[in-house]
Amino acid sequence: MLGLVVAVLAVSSFASQPEGDKVNYSDFIAQVQEGRVESITFDNTNGRISGHYTDGTEFRTTSLGLELPEEDYAILKEHNVSVEPRTPESSFLASMLPILLPFALIILFLWWMQRRAAGQMGNVMSIGRSKAKTYTTERPSTTFEDVAGYEGVKQEIREVVDFLRSPQRYAAIGARIPKGVLLVGPPGTGKTLIARAVAGEAGVPFLSVTGSDFMEMFVGVGASRVRDLFQSARKMGRAIIFIDEIDSIGRKRGAGLGGGHDEREQTLNQMLAEMDGFEATEGVVIIAATNRPDVLDGALLRPGRFDRQVIVPLPEFTERLAILKTHCRHKRIGPDVNMDIVARGTPGMAGADLANLVNEAALFAVRQGDDMIRMIHFEEARDRVMIGQRRESVVMTDSEKEMTAYHEGGHALVAALLPNCDPVHKVTILPTGMALGVTMTLPGEEKHSWSQGYIEDRLAMIMGGRMSEELVYGEVTNGAADDLRKATEIARKMVREWGMSDRIGPMAWGSHGPVFLGEDMVQSREYSDDTARIIDEEIEKVLRNAENRTRQLLHDNRKALDGIAKSLLDKETIDGPEVYRCIQAARTNGQLPASHVPAPSTGS
C-alpha cells in the first residue's frame, strides 16, 4: 500500500511538469525582444514559466523569483506577449495523504498482529507433531560405499534394506525381519553415518529424529510426537525410522535419582506401545543408536521391539586404514606418507578421531607453508591429538631438563628391556600437553586381551620414571603423579576385577555403576572390612613388586640410562631406534648381556 501511494505521487508529480525545450531566462527575454514569443504561463508557486513561440513550438524556463520583475513585465507587454498567471491546485490524493497515512499504518499494524497471533496459535496446535526429517530416494546423500570398514555391521543393515526393497523374498519362506535394530558403540564410531547410509541405500522413505526432539516443557508432548511419528511412517507404507541418542528417552523407569521423570517415562511407554502396535509385515523398521546401552530400559530391548543389537566397535587396523584412505580421498597427500604406519600408530581411535587427525595434519601443512600433506605432518598431528599441544611458553632450567631426560629415559629403557612391553616409538623432553616430557610406545599388533605378564611389564614401565629419579638424584619429584595414578588404577583392577591376586583368588568386585541411575547410592559394600584390608595390601604388594623390579633393572643398566638421557639432552626428541642404539652401545661396552636387549622393532 505504501509503495502504491508513493508511485501515484511520483507519477502525478512527473505528469504535472510542463513540456518543451528548456531555455535560459536571459535567452527567453532576448527572444521576447525579437518578437518570437507568442504567450506564456507563469506559475505563482515556484516561478516556472512555460509558453509557445510564434511558430507553435513550446518552451520552458525558470524565472528569477516568485514574481516577474517590473522591467521584464514591461518588455512582455511591449511586445504583445500574452501572460497568464496560474496557481495550480494540489491533487486530492496529495491533500488527503497526511490524513490517510496514520490510519493506513494503524490498519497495517493490526493486520500484522493478527497474523502473528494466528501463527502462534498454529504453533501451539502443532506442538504435538513429530519433528522427524523425511528423506526419500530423490535425496541420496550417503551410501554404504562411504562407510569404510565395518563389513559385519553393513551386512546386518543391508538385510533390513533388502527386506524393505523386496519383502516377498522373505515372506516366501516365512522369514520375519527384525522390527528394531539398535546400533551400540562408543562415540565417534559412525553409528549416525551408517544410518545416513541406510537413507541413501533404501528405496523407501527415511524418517530421522533424535531423542531430544520428543522432550518439551509441556507434559504429554513427547508421547504425542511418538504417536505422530509412527502414524506418519504407517501412511508411507514401508519406511525406516531412525532415532538417534535413544538413551535420552529410553532410560530405565523408576530408577530413582535422575530417572523418575514423568514426561520421559510417558514418552517411553508410548514408544513401547507403538512398537507393539504394528506387525513386521507392515514394513516399518526402527533403527536406533546409542553409546549407553546399560541405561536403557529392559522392556525396550526385549525381542519383538529391538530384536537385534548391532555392535559398532572401535575400528581395527585394517578398518582404520580404510577410514584414513576415505578421509584422504580429496586431499593432497605427499609421496612419503605411509598410511600403514599412520593406521598402526592410532590404536583406540574412532572414525571421528581419524577424521580429526587427517584434518590436523592438513592444518599443520598449511601452517608450515607446504603444498601437500607429508608424513611429518601426520606425526605432528598424532602427537597433537594423542598427547596434546606443545607448550612453547614453558622454559625449563638446565637441572629440570636433565631430570626430565632421566625420567623419560627411565620409561624408555624399561619399555625397551622388558619383553612384553610395546616397542618404544618416540621420546621427547619438550613440554607437551600437561607433561614436561612424553614417552610413546606403539603396539606392533592389535591387542584384544592383556596377559598378566604384559600388565606387570606395563606397570614396571610406568614406574620407570620415578625409579630413575630415585636412582640418579636420591629423591623423587611430583612429576610422577600421573604415573602413580595410572599404576594404582591398573593394580586395583588386577586385584579387584581381573583375579590376578593369589590371596583374593577368583573373585571380582567391579566398580560402581552410573550415579544418575540411583541404583548404587544406597547399595552396601559387597565385601567385608577384612577383605577390604586384604585388597589394599594386595594392591600395595603389586605396586611394590613393580617398583622393586624396576629399581633393580635400572640399577643393572645405569650406563644405558645415562646414554638415553644424554641423547635426549642433545636432541630433545629421539625415536625408538635411537633408544635401541643407546642400549646396543651399552651392551657393546660389556654392561648388558646380549639376551637382555631386544632387537629394534622396524614396525615402530
pLDDT of residue 595: 37
> For 195, what's the count of Cα atoms within 13 Å in the CB-facing half-sphere?
27
Query: Distance between CA 179 and CA 283 in Å, rounded?
Result: 9
Q: List pLDDT tens digits, range 407-446.
A: 989 999 999 898 888 888 888 888 876 778 888 887 777 7
Q: Same structural domain for residues 344 and 296?
A: no
pLDDT of residue 18: 53
What is the pLDDT confidence band of residue 329, given thresholds at 50, 70 and 90? confident
Query: Distance between CA 329 and CA 318 in Å, rounded?
Result: 17
Flag whether 102 is in a domain.
no
What is the pLDDT confidence band of residue 601, given thresholds at 50, 70 and 90? very low
Q: Same structural domain for residues 429 and 577?
A: yes
Catalytic residues: 408
Q: State mean pLDDT over 590-603.
A: 43
pLDDT of residue 19: 58
Indicate whether 527 pLDDT > 80.
Answer: no
Query: Of 251-265, 274-288, 481-495, 559-573, which range is least confident?
Result: 251-265
Whichever domain contains 282, its CATH number is: 3.40.50.300
Flag whether 76 is in a domain.
yes
Please identify, among 386, 417, 435, the residue that sits at the C-terminal boundary of a domain.
386
Please identify, among 311, 326, 358, the residue that sits at the C-terminal boundary of a domain.
311
Q: What are phi and psi of 288, to 5 degrees?
A: -125, 155
CB–CB of 416/428 below 8 Å?
no
| 78 exposure class (CB count in 10 Å sphere: 0-12, 13-18, 19+) | exposed
Nearest to 263 by CA among 319, 210, 222, 306: 222
At position 355, the amino acid (one-letter code) is A
From residue 300, alpha-carbon distances to 12, 133, 159, 368, 405 in Å are 75, 23, 22, 52, 55
Nearest to 1 by CA among 116, 103, 115: 103
Flag whether 351 is in a domain.
yes
Query: Distance between CA 517 and CA 462 in Å, rounded?
Result: 35
Query: Of 140-144, 347-351, 581-585, which range is least confident?
Result: 140-144
Please identify, among 275, 293, 311, the residue that sits at the C-terminal boundary of a domain.
311
Flag whether 429 is in a domain.
yes
Query: Distance between CA 134 and CA 306 in Å, rounded?
Result: 22
What is the pLDDT confidence band of residue 9, given thresholds at 50, 70 and 90? low
Q: Same structural domain for residues 206 and 354?
A: no
Q: Same structural domain for residues 305 and 323?
A: no
The set of residues, in sequence order, having a beta carbon less than 8 Å from that of 130 and lying 6+ positions away, is 207, 209, 213, 225, 226, 228, 229, 232
Query: Distance between CA 91 and CA 89 in Å, rounded?
Result: 7
Higher-scoring residue by pLDDT: 360, 220: 360
DSSP 8-state code for residue 296: B
pLDDT of residue 84: 75
Higher-scoring residue by pLDDT: 591, 32: 32
Higher-scoring residue by pLDDT: 255, 496: 496
Range of the domain at 79: 17-86
Tell me the three state secondary structure of residue 364: helix
Q: Same structural domain for residues 418 and 481?
A: yes
What is the pLDDT confidence band of residue 539, given thresholds at 50, 70 and 90? very high
Higher-scoring residue by pLDDT: 365, 42: 365
Q: List pLDDT tens digits, range 262-317.
A: 667 777 777 788 777 655 546 778 888 888 887 888 888 887 788 788 888 888 88
Q: State mean pLDDT over 532-543.
A: 91
Q: Residue 94: how many CB atoms within 10 A of its CB? A: 14
Q: Residue 510: how many CB atoms within 10 A of its CB? A: 9
Indicate whether 449 pLDDT > 60.
Answer: yes
Residue entry with cell 591376586: 501
What is the chain's mean pLDDT, rounded?
A: 77
Whichever domain contains 69, its CATH number is: 3.30.720.210
Could you give the number of structural domains in the chain? 4
Evaluated on CA atoms 336, 342, 343, 345, the torsion sign reads positive
Query: Distance between CA 121 and CA 246 in Å, rounded?
Result: 30
Q: Residue 200: how many CB atoms within 10 A of its CB? A: 18
pLDDT of residue 89: 61
Query: Of 187-191, 485-489, 587-591, which range is least confident?
Result: 587-591
Higher-scoring residue by pLDDT: 71, 399: 399
Tell me the three state secondary structure of residue 14: helix
Q: State mean pLDDT over 31-55.
A: 77
Q: Same structural domain for residues 349 and 288?
A: no
| Whole-model pTM over 0.85 | no
Flag whether 27 is in a domain.
yes
| 190 exposure class (CB count in 10 Å sphere: 0-12, 13-18, 19+) | buried
Q: At what angle do helices 558-571 and 452-473 cross, to 10 degrees?
A: 80
Nine-digit cell at 218?
A: 509441556
Q: Same structural domain for residues 191 and 339?
A: no
Residue entry with cell 541406510: 198
Q: Same structural domain for residues 248 and 144?
A: yes
Q: Same structural domain for residues 519 and 565?
A: yes
Indicate whether 10 pLDDT > 50.
Answer: yes
Query: Distance between CA 226 and CA 195 in Å, rounded?
Result: 19
Indicate whether 600 pLDDT > 70.
Answer: no
pLDDT of residue 602: 35
Q: Which long-range contacts (CB under 8 A, 24 or more apart) does 36-40 make?
A: 37/76, 37/79, 37/81, 38/81, 38/82, 39/81, 39/82, 39/83, 39/84, 40/76, 40/81, 40/82, 40/83, 40/84
Q: Same structural domain for residues 247 and 284?
A: yes
What is the pLDDT confidence band of residue 596, given thresholds at 50, 70 and 90? very low
Flag whether 538 is in a domain.
yes
End-to-end CA distance of the chain: 77
Query: Distance between CA 246 and CA 175 in Å, rounded?
Result: 27
Whichever domain contains 323, its CATH number is: 1.10.8.60
Indicate whether 189 pLDDT > 60.
Answer: yes
Q: Same structural domain for residues 340 and 299?
A: no
At position 180, the amino acid (one-letter code) is G
CB–CB of 452/497 below 8 Å?
no
Query: Distance between CA 202 and CA 196 in Å, rounded?
Result: 10
Q: Same structural domain for residues 350 and 419?
A: no
Flag whether 101 is in a domain.
no
Q: Residue 568: how many CB atoms within 10 A of its CB? A: 28
What is the pLDDT confidence band of residue 522, given thresholds at 50, 70 and 90? very low
Q: List pLDDT tens digits, range 203-257.
A: 777 788 877 766 665 556 777 777 778 888 777 777 788 888 888 777 777 655 4
Q: List pLDDT tens digits, range 369-398.
A: 888 888 888 888 887 877 777 776 677 788
CB–CB of 496/508 below 8 Å?
yes
DSSP 8-state code for residue 80: T
Indicate whether 348 pLDDT > 70.
Answer: yes
Bridge partners, residue 51, by sequence: 40, 59
From edge to edge, which strands make up the β-sheet containing 21-22? 21-22, 58-62, 48-53, 37-43, 82-86
Whichever domain contains 561, its CATH number is: 1.20.58.760
pLDDT of residue 124: 45
Nearest to 219 by CA among 266, 254, 273: 266
Flag whether 115 is in a domain.
no
Nine-digit cell at 379?
A: 606425526
Query: Distance between CA 286 and CA 272 in Å, rounded?
Result: 12
Q: Residue 232: how many CB atoms within 10 A of its CB? A: 17
